[in-house]
Amino acid sequence: MILKKTIGVDLGTDTTQIYLKGVGIILNEPSIVAFNNRTNRVVAVGLEAKRMLSRTPSHVTALRPITNGVIADFDMAKEMVQRFMKTKSLPWSWLTETIVGVPTNLTEVERKSVEDLFKEVGVSKVYLVEEPIAAAVGSGLDITKPTAHFIVDIGAGTTDMAIISMNGIVVSRRLKIAGDYLNQEIIRGVKDELKLFIGEPTAEEIKIAVGSAVTQSEKLDISIRGRDAVSGLPKEANVRDTQVRYWLSKPIKIMVEALKELIDITPPELAGDIYKNGVYLCGGGSMLRGMSQLFQKELGVDVHLVDEPLLCVVRGIGLIAENPGFYGNVLESFSSPLSASI
């Protein structure tokens, strides 16, 4: 397989990242489209769309065309990718090939939709790579060896867990509990306990400023503004780390249970490898304070938080693009018989 001009794409729920072979990561922007309902036109995408949102009139709406890692709005996703490619003057022609990270266990329709999107954007060939494989490569793991690695990618829309050995996924699981879900739990907690309505950006701010999975040595708090649930007027309140930890404890427990279940159904030899090699955590959600400590305590194995966890998938796709001879079969392993899921 000869890869010509190659672009790698991680089309995430929260962020889209693009890698250009021979150059590196050239784009890292929110997967957001600002859409004008009156003119039926896209006004902006990415960072520009995100910046605009807080100060645009009500007829401009924000759209996230990727939901839980899957294309939810084909036309908007296509327009977003097209505009991203244009801003970077990316070569899209019959000579351009694309490697796209996709979640595990995509349906045929979802998979085709990714292929169609990039074909319609203008590239000649689309290779799909399962995101946990890309994440493992991007985390510096040698996945070609007959030893098992456990990779957990906590994104915005999904938490992908996979045990990988010899270029293939042995068992995997995809939970729709990840960063976005945690934000929703914070919105709910603030409403129930503090009687305040807040939006997603404030919830995200709270999570990043004071959120944690286990007790931290320093106490944290943040002052936020929202709309009083009773009077409807703007109000300020203080949110403490202990409150946020409590609000997040339930979804995090579900993640832990899913991790345990996956180890349970892993063939014994490979489970032994996991105890030796530990678990690798990546994705933006893994940056929550104490996440790796909690997993380590609950699973009884070493948990490593990879460097720059937000970039692990695109970094992996980049490495695959740069070394097609070494990783080529990873691209073809998409429907390998080794793949199984629960």
Ligand X SMILES: Nc1ncnc2c1ncn2[C@@H]1O[C@H](COP(=O)(O)OP(=O)(O)OP(=O)(O)O)[C@@H](O)[C@H]1O
Among 123, 137, 151, 156, binds ligand X (CB under 6 A): 156
Write down how long the chain is.
342
Residues 196-235: x where in contact with ligand X by CB under 6 A, - otherwise, as a string: --------x--xx--x------------------------
Tokens of 192: 């129930």
The distance between the two most distant Cα atoms of the chain, rounded to a whole number of Å, is 65
The reply on whether position 179 binds ligand X by CB under 6 A is yes
- Determine which residue in the list 29, 79, 180, 273 makes contact with ligand X, applying CB under 6 A: 180
The residue sitting closest to ligand X, measured at its beta carbon, is 179
The DSSP 8-state label assigned to residue 212 in this structure reads: B
Q: Applying CB under 5 A, which part among 12-20, 44-52, 105-113, 216-224 lies near Mg ion?
A: 12-20
CA dihedral for 241, 279, 321, 103, sign (positive or negative): negative
**Between residue 44 and residue 73, which ones bind ligand X under the rule CB under 6 A?**
69
Give the C-alpha separation, 108 to 121, whole Å. Answer: 20
Q: Does 12 bind Mg ion (CB under 5 A)?
A: yes
Strand ranges (E), 181-312: 196-197, 221-228, 234-240, 279-282, 303-305
Q: How far apart are CB 14 and Mg ion at their closest, in Å?
A: 8
Q: CB under 8 Å to 237, separation ≥6 — which residues?
A: 190, 194, 196, 223, 224, 225, 226
Question: Residue 208 binds which entry of Mg ion, ligand X, none, with Cβ cut-offs from 5 to 8 Å by kind?
Answer: ligand X
DSSP secondary structure letter of residue 139: T
Q: How far is the CB of 205 from ligand X (least distance, A)?
A: 10
Q: In 3-state terms, what secondary structure has residue 143?
A: coil
User: Residue 187 or residue 288: which is nearer to ligand X going by CB?
Assistant: 288
Q: Stretches 153-161, 167-175, 178-186, 244-252: which one binds Mg ion (CB under 5 A)?
A: 153-161
Please state, as a whole number, how many other Cβ atoms lie within 10 Å of the Cβ of residue 208: 14
> Is 96 within 8 Å of 7 (Cβ atoms)?
yes
- From 116-124, 177-185, 186-194, 253-261, give the range in contact with ligand X by CB under 6 A: 177-185
Q: Does 292 help bind ligand X (rule: CB under 6 A)?
A: no
Residue indicated by tokens 């672009």: 7
* Beta-bridge partners for 173: 161
Query: Chain-centre distance of CA 257, in angstroms?
Result: 20
> Site residues for ligand X, window 6-35 (CB under 6 A)?
12-15
Task: Choose the stretch contacting Mg ion; rule: CB under 5 A; options: 8-16, 174-182, 186-194, 319-327.
Answer: 8-16
Binding site for ligand X (CB under 6 A): 12-15, 69, 155-158, 178-180, 204, 207-208, 211, 283-285, 287-288, 310
Binding site for Mg ion (CB under 5 A): 12, 155
